[in-house]
Amino acid sequence: MHPLKLLLATLFFFTLAPWATASKVTYDGRAIIIDGKHKLLVSGSIHYPRSTAQMWPELIKKSKEGGLDAIETYVFWDSHEPARREYDFSGNLDLIRFLKTIHDEGLYAVLRIGPYVCAEWNYGGFPLWLHNMPGVQMRTANDVFMNEMRNFTTLIVNMVKQENLFASQGGPVILAQIENEYGNVMSSYGDEGKAYIEWCANMAQSLHIGVPWLMCQQSDAPEPMINTCNGWYCDQFTPNRPTSPKMWTENWTGWFKSWGGKDPHRTAEDLAFAVARFYQLGGTFQNYYMYHGGTNFGRTAGGPYITTSYDYDAPLDEYGNLNQPKWGHLKELHDVLHSMEDTLTRGNISSVDFGHSVSGTIYSTEKGSSCFLTNTDSRNDTTINFQGIYYEVPAWSVSILPDCQDVVYNTAKVSAQTSVMVKKKNVAEDEPAALSWSWRPETNDKSILFGKGEVSVNRILDQKDAANDLSDYLFYMTSVSLKEDDPIWGDNMTLRITGSGQVLHVFVNGGFIGSQWAKYGVFDYVFEQQIKLNKGKNTITLLSATVGFANYGANFDLTQAGVRGPVELVGYHDDEIIIKDLSSHKWSYKVGLEGLHQELYSSDSSKWQQDNYPTNKMFTWYKAAFKAPLGTDPVVVDLLGLGKGLAWVNGNSIGRYWPSFLAEDGCSLDPCDYRGSYDNNKCVTNCGKPTQRWYHVPRSFLNNEGDNTLVLFEEFGGDPSSVNFQTIAIGSACVNAEEKKRIELSCQGRPVSAIKFASFGNPVGTCGSFSKGTCEASNDALSIVQKACVGQESCTIDVSEDTFGSTTCGDDVIKTLAVEAIC
C-alpha cells in the first residue's frame, strides 16, 4: 500500500475507534446494565424537529453540563414520510445527524420510535395519508395499519443500524421504545388491542437491535418489553416483572400550552422532590419530558389548539437558554445522585418510618451507606432523630445524605441562581424604528362568491378526508335556491352549522356573516347567525381553518375536523320553526388559499402593493424587510396587534400565530407554593394576556448580511405596525443560598456589570426585591461580591463567615447570602 494511503487508513481507523467499541446493554430488577456496570441514568427529552440542526450541539452540551446521561427523542412518522414511500430526513429532520451529535457529546440516546408519539404533535405523529388508506384501523390488530407501522419502524431501525448507532454496534442508542401509552386506552380496542400489543412486541424483537425495548404505560407489556411509567410522580410505580428495572420515561417538567390557556409552571423544588423520591424508592432511570421543549414550527402543533411555543417550562427554555433556577437545582441533584450510583444500584435496602409523614431509606454496601430522608407532609416541617443526629426535614422535601451523616442536598432548598430573562429591541445596523410593509389581498373570490371548488360530493366531508393535511384551510361550498313560496322563506332566517371545534368563517352570497372557534379540549360547537337570502340561487361558503388535529385518546384518529354538520337553514315563523337540511346537497371543496398555492411566503412576486396597507382586514398578506439583530442571542418577533395567521422568515415557517387569543382567567396573585401534589392547574400565569405574543426565529433562518424577509398571512384582521424583532438575554441573576454552600453567579456569556444588592445574614424578600434583615456580617457583603464578580462572566462564592466575617445573628438563625447581579 502507498505510504500516504496507509497513513490515511490508520487515521481513519483511529478516528472511528471510539465508535467501534460495542457495548452490551442488559438489565435486571435493579438497573440497566451497560458493559457489566449497573447504571443510575438521568435522561432528558429533546425533540429534534422542534429546534434546528444548528441548535443541537449547544442544546446537547448544556444537557450534559446539567448532569444528564442520555437524550431521549420521539421519531416523527408524519414528518419523515409525508407521502407514502416518500421520505424526508433533511434539515431539522436529520435523525441520524441528531443521534451522532448526541454521541459526539458522549451521551447515550433513547429512541422512542413509536411510531405513535402523542407529544401534542399534529395527529400524534401519524401521517394523514395513513388515515385515508382503504380498510385501515389505527392502533389495533389491522393488517393495513400494521404493515405500514412495520415498514416505517423497520426503516428507522435499519437507518440506525447502517450508521452503527445502536449500543450493540458501538453507538449511543441504549434503549428503544415501541408504541406509546397504549395501556391508557387499550380497553377501548378490546381483544384486538391485546393482540396488537403482542404483535408490537414480537415485531420489535424481530428487528434484533441488540438493546432492550420499552413500552411506557403498559402494565401488561409482553416479555421481554420493559414497562415504564409516565406522570408527575412515579415513585409508587412497580414494574410488571421483578426482573425489570423501575423506569420513568416521562417526568413532566411543566406542561404544554394551548391557545386561550394559561401559562403552566412547575417549581424546581417540586420537580426535584419527584426525582429524588423516585430514586429513593428504587428508581434507576428517569427522563425529563421535556428537558428542552422547543417550537412547533410550520403546522406541526396538534391538540387541536396547541400553541406554537412548546416551551414546557423545561430546564432549557424554548430558545435554548438555561431556565434558572430549575436547570441548576436539578444539576446539583444529578451530581449527588451520580456520586451514589454504585450504592443505589447494588446496595441492600432498608427503611424506617419516623411517623408524621417522615420516612428514611438506607442503601448499604460493603463500602458504605447512603440515605434519604423524606417528608411528604405538604404543610409542616419536621425535626427527627436519625442515628443519634437531629435533622430538620422541610415539608414536601427529600434530604440526601451520601454518607448517611451529612445532608448535602435538600429538594426544597434552592441555591442555584434565578435568571431574569429580558427582551431587547433589534440593534441591527441601519434598522429603521418601524418596519416598512407591502401587502396584497388573498384572492378567494371564486370560492367565496361563486362556490367553485376542485371536487364535489353530495355530503359533508371530514377535513382530514378532503384536505389530506395539505393545508389548514378548506372551503366547503354549496348553493340553495329559494322561491317566495318556500315554507322556510321569511324575515327571520338563520344559518346553523355544527362545527368540530376548529375555526370557522362563514360567507353567504360573498358577504361575511361571522366566525367561531373553540379552545383546547372542545370538539364541537353550533354556529348560528341571522342571514338574508335572495330569491333564486344563494351561495353558502364555509372556510374551515384547522389548528392541528387531535393527538391523544382512544380512537383519536377518528376525531372529526372541519365542518361536522348538519348545516341547516332555519326559518322562524311565530310559533313554528322550519328547518332545511343542506348536508346532503352538492358540496364543492377547495383545499388551501391562493397565496399559499402561489407560495407568496417565499416567492419574489412583484405584485405586492407598497402604499397604504390596510389594517383589520381579513385575509391579507403582509411583507417587510428587516436586518438580523446583532450578536448571537436568540431572536423573537413580537406580533402583538395581529389577529391570527401564519408567519414565515426567509421562506421558513415559524408557525401559526394568534396573539389576539387572550388567556383565560384563573391566575392567583399569591406566590406559587411548591408544597403538595402538582398538576398543570396549580401554578399558572399570564391570565388575560395574549396566549403567545413572541415567536421564535432561529438564527439559522436569518441572513446576517443583507436583508431578511418577514411574510405574514393575516386571517382574522390585524395591524402589523407594531411588529418588531427582539433578542432574549439574561438581564439579572439572583441567588439566595444558605451557609456552607458554594454558589455560582453567571450572566451566560456576558459580563456582570453591577451588583445591585448583597447581604449575608438573614436578608428577606425575593429576586428583584431583596432587603437587609435584622442581622448582618461584619464585612461589607456588597463590596466582596462586587470584587469577585463585576466584569466576570461568572463567579463563585463560598457562603460562609470565612468569606463575609462573623455575623450578629444568633445560633438559631440560618444564615443566608442574597445577591442580585445586573448583566
Q: How far apart are the first and last CA of the chain?
A: 59
**814 backbone dihedrals φ, ψ, rounded to 5°:** -80, 115
DSSP, residue by residue, 119-142? TTBGGGG--HHHHTSTT--TTSS-
Residues whose CB is less than 8 angstroms from the CB of residue 20 and which lie 6 or more positions away in sequence, other chains included: 164, 170
Sign of CA dihedral 156, 161, 164, 166: positive
Cell of 799: 457562603
Residues whose CB is less than 8 angstroms from the CB of residue 395 and which lie 6 or more positions away in sequence, other chains included: 375, 377, 378, 379, 380, 381, 382, 412, 675
Helix (H) or strand (E) holding 573: strand 563-573
Q: Rounded to an integer, what distance in angstroms lies between the CA atom of residue 473 and that of residue 595?
A: 12
Q: Rounded to an integer, what distance in angstroms lies between the CA atom of residue 413 and that of residue 766?
A: 14
| Cβ proximity of 155 and 106 under 8 Å | no
- Which residues does residue 497 pair with via DSSP β-bridges, in sequence order? 527, 567
DSSP, residue by residue, 64-88? HHTT-SEEEEE--HHHH-SBTTB--
- Which residues does residue 538 pair with via DSSP β-bridges, in sequence order? 480
Nearest residue to 96 via CA among 174, 159, 27:
159
- DSSP three-state, residue 460: coil
Residues whose CB is less than 8 angstroms from the CB of residue 523 and which lie 6 or more positions away in sequence, other chains included: 500, 501, 550, 559, 560
Exposed/middle/buried for residue 555 (C-beta within 10 Å: 0-12, 13-18, 19+): middle
Number of H helices, E strands in the chain: 15, 43
| Cβ proximity of 431 and 553 under 8 Å | no
In the chain, the amino acid numbered 216 is C
Nearest residue to 539 via CA among 460, 449, 453:
449
Q: Rounded to an integer, what distance in angstroms lies between the CA atom of residue 763 and that of residue 772?
A: 4
Half-sphere exposure of 604 (CA within 13 A, CB side): 1
- The C-alpha cell 435533622 sits at 391
Cell of 94: 436529520
Sign of CA dihedral 162, 168, 173, 175: positive
Nearest residue to 585 via CA among 460, 474, 498, 452:
460
Q: Rounded to an integer, what distance in angstroms lies between the CA atom of residue 762 and that of residue 777?
A: 10
DSSP, residue by residue, 274-328? HHHHHHHTTEEEEEEEEEE--B--TT-B-BTTB-SB--TT-SB-TTS-B-TTHHH
Exposed/middle/buried for residue 158 (C-beta within 10 Å: 0-12, 13-18, 19+): exposed
Find the catalytic residue in 148, 250, 776, 820.
250
776 among known catalytic residues: no
Q: Rounded to an integer, what distance in angstroms lies between the CA atom of residue 632 and that of residue 785?
A: 28
Q: Rounded to an integer, what distance in angstroms lies between the CA atom of residue 451 and that of residue 115?
A: 39
Neighbours of 794 (CB within 10 A): 15
Q: How far, rounded to the nearest angstrom, does the alpha carbon of residue 373 sit from its chain's CA centroid?
A: 33
Total residue count of the chain as it appears in this document: 823
Residues whose CB is less than 8 angstroms from the CB of residue 195 and which lie 6 or more positions away in sequence, other chains included: 141
- DSSP three-state, residue 1: coil
Find the catalytic residue in 181, 332, 442, 776.
181
- Which residues does residue 251 pair with via DSSP β-bridges, in sequence order? 231, 288
In the chain, the amino acid numbered 473 is Y
250 among known catalytic residues: yes
Task: Give catalytic residue positions.
Answer: 181, 250
